[in-house]
Chains A and B, each alone.
Chain A
Amino acid sequence: MTASTVDIALFAAKLGMVFLAILTLAAYLVFAERRVLAWIQDRKGPNRVGPLGLLQPLADLVKLLTKEDFIPAAADKWLFCLAPAMAAIPAILIFSVIPFGKPLTIAGHQVPLLIADLNVGLLFFLALSSIAVYGVAIGGWASNSKYSLLGGIRGLAQLISYELSMGLSLVPVVMLARSFSLTAIVDAQARIPFILYQPLAFIIFLISITAECKRIPFDIPEAEGELVAGFHTEYSGMRFGLFFVGEYINIIVLGGLATTFFLGGWHGPVLAPVIWFGIKTLVFAFFFIWMRGTLPRLRYDQLMHLGWKLLTPLALLNILATGWWLVAAS
């Protein structure tokens, strides 16, 4: 029996649940960030809307939806409207290749807990994260404002530079797992997560994904002290909201990828696999927030220096070392 109606229904249910979970999680990540940052700064953070402020994301949504949707007169209207979607959609799409739990068996139907088990899942991720660059660049360019343009160009340079070290830091993972499929990579870590074999690659990947989701200390594309808000200066209402939510979806997705590549994905004792995946991903999200509360922004030349002169050569050396080690071990 090939794709029966039950299979299709199960797939649709899975798709809907993942979509809903990611969007809800992203909205609550905004809230969590505001609360945790407030704690770091000895404040309390938003705690007025609902119990403990838990309905704050809803209030933010209402606010964003009722704001005026403003398009600058000199802006390129089509690209201006397209850019937020180009920033948010690739981030959501990347999640489709992340396995977030052990395959389930429901009523005799095998349900793998990921949307698409691509055998080139890792390349799919790298390709989509490259496409996400267009959202930033086009958004900055189409606004027809000098701050937006500067932000867009900075974003372009930063994302391209750090994609290199991010891709190179994943090569040892592929060498160890002998597969580009994320399911196979997780299966290869059933006993020992790759972070123990590849601590250097993990650190390079962590720094690169921080730059990739434009978080402090790598937030120079939006550097509010210099560029107002960088590439999304001219955006308002839900278009800005889409950029914003896209950024937080990116945090969840990249945290999930770091979990998948280095922390053994959903593998873990006692607790259910989905819960393990969630905990590991949220640890990364917490780390990003913590880092934002701690580190100052890098200067542009320091950013480029770190990316090209330190991370990329280190990642290359790490690939060589892993190769020698694998040959010596076999």
Chain B
Amino acid sequence: MSVFDDIKGIATGFGVTLRHMLRRPVTIQYPEQKRVPYPRFRARIVLTRDPDGDERCVACYLCSAACPVDCISMQAAQRADGRRYAAWFRINFSRCIFCGLCAEACPTLAIQMTPDYEICKRNIMDLVYEKEDLLIDGCGKDSSYNFYKHSGIGVTQPRGAGLEEKPPVDVRSLMP
């Protein structure tokens, strides 16, 4: 009986390959056909602005610290009103592994991943993106979040004007 089982097994195999021969290939012909990535696809990194049009980045170095391949570097600076910003901000995309840890670490939602995966370059130095290459004009994924409205006490607005803040208590009027 085992001979017939063997023959049946071989014939089944031939059937399977024949079925697959007639099936549509799963290949995507890349330069002509492009798959549309999901909105949360992790590719090229950008620096976003808050709804008022100011840079969100406060140069806290958390992204740079979170980066497992050390591809983010920057220099912090401070404006006259006390608001921090990055004097220069650099991402070396030839080292970046697109893990997204920088975007997770960012407290101000400044650094975000975009679905734009086509960033091949002939010259490897072109993959080092400076701040002006990274900064975009929009807000990215969250169009309403503004870090300084929630935090950064007394930097861009007077004390007590923040969203979750109560007005400062006058201790002299606080009598029993």
- Among A39, A291, A295, which residue has its beta carbon within 8 angstroms of that of B20? A39
Q: Quick one: which of A42, A290, A295 has the most chain B CB within 10 A?
A: A42
**In the complex, A36 has a CB within 8 A of chain B:** yes
Q: How far is the CA of A75 from the CA of B12 in the complex (A)?
A: 45
User: Which residues from B are CB-within-8-Å of A290?
Assistant: 14, 17-18, 21
Nearest CB on A from B10, distance (A): 7
**In the complex, A294 has a CB within 8 A of chain B:** yes
Query: Which residues of A, 26-55, contact B by the 8 Å Cβ criterion?
Result: 36, 38-44
Q: How far is the CA of A291 from the CA of B25 in the complex (A)?
A: 20
**B2-32 toward A: CB 8 Å interface, digit per residue (1/0)?**
0000000010011011101111111101000
Cβ B21 vs Cβ A294 within 8 A: no
Size of A's binding interface in residues, CB under 8 A: 13
Cβ B25 vs Cβ A38 within 8 A: yes
Cβ B27 vs Cβ A294 within 8 A: no
Nearest CB on B from A296, distance (A): 9
**A143-185 toward B: CB 8 Å interface, digit per residue (1/0)?**
0000000000000000000000000000000000000000000
Cβ A42 vs Cβ B20 within 8 A: yes
User: Which residues from B are CB-within-8-Å of A112?
Assistant: none
Nearest CB on A from B4, distance (A): 15
Cβ A39 vs Cβ B25 within 8 A: yes
- Among A40, A44, A293, A295, which residue has its beta carbon within 8 angstroms of that of B27? A44
User: Which residues from B are CB-within-8-Å of A38?
Assistant: 25
User: Which residues from A are CB-within-8-Å of B20?
Assistant: 39-42
Nearest CB on A from B165, distance (A): 59
Cβ B25 vs Cβ A293 within 8 A: no
Q: How far is the CA of A38 from the CA of B27 in the complex (A)?
A: 10
User: Which residues from B are CB-within-8-Å of A293?
Assistant: 17, 21
Q: How far is the CA of A130 from the CA of B29 in the complex (A)?
A: 45
Cβ A295 vs Cβ B13 within 8 A: yes
Nearest CB on B from A64, distance (A): 26
User: Which residues from B are CB-within-8-Å of A294?
Assistant: 10, 13-14, 16-17
Nearest CB on B from A36, distance (A): 7
User: Which residues from A are CB-within-8-Å of B18?
Assistant: 290
User: Which residue from chain A places its CB closest to the CB of B26 in the assembled complex?
Assistant: A42
User: Which residue from chain A places its CB closest to the CB of B11 in the assembled complex?
Assistant: A294
Cβ A42 vs Cβ B14 within 8 A: no
- Among B10, B14, B21, B29, which residue has its beta carbon within 8 angstroms of that of A39? B21
User: Which residues from B are CB-within-8-Å of A295?
Assistant: 10, 13
Nearest CB on B from A94, distance (A): 28
User: Which residues from B are CB-within-8-Å of A44?
Assistant: 25, 27, 29
Nearest CB on A from B89, distance (A): 40
Cβ A43 vs Cβ B25 within 8 A: yes
Q: Quick one: which of B13, B21, B26 has the most chain A CB within 10 A?
A: B21
Cβ B26 vs Cβ A43 within 8 A: yes
Q: How far is the CA of A107 from the CA of B132 in the complex (A)?
A: 82
Nearest CB on B from A114, distance (A): 33
Nearest CB on A from B143, distance (A): 41
Nearest CB on B from A229, distance (A): 24
Q: Knowing that A42-B24, A42-B27, A290-B21 touch, tell me 4 more A-B residue pairs with CB under 8 angstroms.
A: A38-B25, A40-B20, A43-B26, A290-B14
24 inter-chain pairs at a CB distance below 8 angstroms, sorted by A residue, are A36-B21, A38-B25, A39-B21, A39-B25, A40-B17, A40-B20, A40-B21, A41-B20, A42-B23, A42-B24, A42-B25, A42-B27, A43-B27, A44-B25, A44-B27, A44-B29, A290-B17, A290-B21, A293-B21, A294-B10, A294-B13, A294-B16, A295-B10, A295-B13
Q: Footprint of B on A, CB under 8 Å?
A: 36, 38-44, 290-291, 293-295
